[in-house]
Amino acid sequence: MTALTIVRGDITRQQVDALVNAANSSLLGGGGVDGAIHRRGGPAILEECRALRASRYGRGLPTGQAVATTAGELDARWVIHTVGPVWRPGGDPSLLASCYRESLRVADELGARTVAFPAVSTGVYRWPMQDAARIAVDTVRGVRTAVEEVRFVLFDDRAYEAFALQLG
Ligand code: AR6
C-alpha cells in the first residue's frame, strides 16, 4: 500500500529518495520548482540534464514523460524531471495524469521508496488547482507501485487545501 501524505512547504527541503521536478521540455531549468531545485541542488543536476539533451532527449523531454538525474546537493538520491502540460480551456487531463504515472514508473525503476511531488502544472503552466489536485490524487491512487510514500509538497494554503480536500 502506498501512503499518500501532504505537507505545506518547499520541495527542495524534503528528505526523500526522489523528488519530482515540474520541468519544461528543455530540461535546462526555469522558474518555480525547477529554478528552486537547480539552485539548491547545484550544478551536477544541470550537467546530467545537458547530457540527456545530448543523447536520449535531443528534442527535449516530451510533455507527460519523466526522466531521472542525480539530486546533487539536495537531501534526496534522485530528481525525477517531468513536463506538465500548459493549461488551456478544455485541456486534456491525460497528459497531467501521465506526469504522475510516468514519474512513479521511473521511481520504481530506481527503487525509490519515498517520492515527493509538487503540484505539477499549477504555477507557470496555469492548470486550475482544484482540477490538478483531483487528477494528481486519482492518478496516484490508481497506480500500481512499490513506492511506500507519495508526499505532495504544497507551496501555499490554496494548494494545500485543494489536495487535503481530495485526500479527504
Ligand atoms: N516547492 C514546492 N512547490 C513550489 C515551489 C517549491 N519550492 N515553488 C513553486 N511551487 P511551477 P509548472 C509551486 O511554476 O506550472 C518553470 O519555469 C507553485 O506554487 O514550478 O508545472 C519550468 O521550467 C505551483 O503550485 O511549475 C517550466 O517552464 C507548483 O509548484 C514551468 O515553470 C508548480 O509551479 C513549469 O510550470
> What would the pLDDT profile of 32-63 be if each residue is shown by its tens digit?
999 999 999 999 999 999 999 999 999 999 99
Q: Calculate how far, in angstroms, residue 110's C-alpha sits from the geometric centre of ligand 1.
A: 24
Q: Could you tell me the three cell numbers for 154? A: 504544497
* Residues 107-127 pLDDT 10s: 999 999 999 999 999 999 999
Catalytic residue among 17, 34, 75, 156: 34
Domain boundaries, the chain: 3-167
Query: What pLDDT, on the 0 to 100 scale, is given for residue 92?
Result: 84
Query: What pLDDT, on the 0 to 100 scale, is given for residue 1?
Result: 87
The question of whether 34 is a catalytic residue gets the answer: yes
* Residues 95-108 pLDDT 10s: 999 999 999 999 99
The CATH H-level superfamily of 3-167 is Leucine Aminopeptidase, subunit E, domain 1 (3.40.220.10)
Q: Which residues line ligand 1 (CB under 6 A)?
A: 10-12, 22-24, 30-34, 36, 84, 118-125, 153, 155, 159
3-class secondary structure, 126: coil
Query: What pLDDT, on the 0 to 100 scale, is given for residue 34?
Result: 98
Residue 20 has pLDDT above 90, yes or no: yes
Q: Calculate how far, in angstroms, residue 36's C-alpha sits from the geometric centre of ligand 1.
A: 9
Determine the atom of ligand 1 nearest the C-alpha atom of 125. 15
Query: What pLDDT, on the 0 to 100 scale, is given for residue 99?
Result: 98
Residue 130 has pLDDT above 90, yes or no: yes
How confident is the model over 4-8, as a mean pLDDT? Answer: 98
Question: For 34, what's the count of Cα atoms within 13 Å in the CB-facing half-sphere?
Answer: 22
Determine the atom of ligand 1 nearest the C-alpha atom of 155. 3
Quick one: which of 28, 94, 22 has its CA closest to 60? 28
Which pTM was predicted?
0.98
CA–CA separation, 124 vs 93, rounded Å?
17
CA–CA separation, 132 vs 152, rounded Å?
12
